[in-house]
Amino acid sequence: MKLFGSLTSPFVRKVRVVMAEKKLEYELILDDVWSDGTQVPQYNPLGKVPCLVTDDGGSLFDSRVIVEYLDTLSPVSRLLPQTSRDRTATKCWEAIADGLADATVAIHIERAIRKPEHRSDDWIARQHGKVLGALTFMNDGLNSHAFCMGVNFSLADIAVGCALGYLDLRYPQLDWRSQYSNLAKLHEKLQERPSFANTAPP
């Protein structure tokens, strides 16, 4: 399998962490989707990463689709529960974590990429509100549990950990640890896992 992506994308990292936890082999192909030479549109018409090219030449895109597929490839470290209720709850955790990452990406693009004369403080404030809302929701949902789904490590924790890591990378001035202690404890625990340590953004 080939995974097209970048070292900073939280969505690519989510796939890479799942690959590591599942002990799946793949080739990581770094690709800048903003460059004229990007290969990604050959496999994903949306021109976005992550994009997974399977051994039979097919392609999968959107991190949520990819990780669900990967979880079926090996019985090692099942990351999605089989029961519908727990499975849905896990996917909801993934959705809120991805939403946090999306809002952080939007803030980064507005501040670091968009020309100053085109920047919108209102847009940044709206995304900031999403970030705080997601952090509050996840911190309250985690409560005193060891992991997002209770006692078992799952895809929910991977998604949350990758989103928080990206928040540190792109929005370091936001001191989220001091306000969201439950998330801080979870994040610290996740960083001890080789799958997270080996995929940390540069």
Domains of the chain, by residue range, sit at 2-71, 84-193
With residues binned 3-state (H G I as helix, E B as strand, rest as coil), the percentages for the chain, rounded to 5, are 55, 10, 35
Residue that is written with structure tokens 């078992």 in the block: 152
Q: How far apart are CA 122 and CA 35, in angstroms?
A: 29
Q: Are the C-beta atoms of 15 and 3 separated by less than 8 Å?
A: yes
**By CB neighbour count within 10 A (0-12 exposed, 13-18 middle, 19+ buried), where does 90 fall?**
buried
Strand-pair category, 27-30 with 51-53: unpaired
pLDDT in tens, 27-48: 999 999 989 899 999 999 999 9
Question: Which of the 8 DSSP states describes residue 110?
Answer: I
Q: How confident is the model at residue 103 (pLDDT cuts 50, 70, 90)?
A: very high
The angle formed by the CA atoms of residues 56, 57 and 59, to the nearest 5 degrees, is 115
Q: What is the pLDDT of residue 6?
A: 96
Q: What is the pLDDT of residue 75?
A: 87
Q: What is the pLDDT of residue 176?
A: 97
CATH architecture designation of domain 84-193: Up-down Bundle (1.20)
Closest CA to 166 of 72, 63, 92, 67: 63
Q: How far apart are CA 83 and CA 88, in angstroms?
A: 9
Residue that is written with structure tokens 């625990």 in the block: 189
pLDDT in tens, 172-191: 999 999 999 999 999 999 99
Q: What is the pLDDT of residue 76?
A: 85
Residue that is written with structure tokens 């030449």 in the block: 57
Q: What is the pTM of this model?
A: 0.96
Q: Is the peptide bond before 50 cis (omega within 30 degrees of 0)?
A: yes
pLDDT in tens, 125-173: 999 999 999 999 999 999 999 999 999 999 999 999 999 999 999 999 9
CATH class of 2-71: alpha beta
pLDDT in tens, 52-97: 999 999 999 999 999 999 999 988 899 999 889 999 999 999 999 9
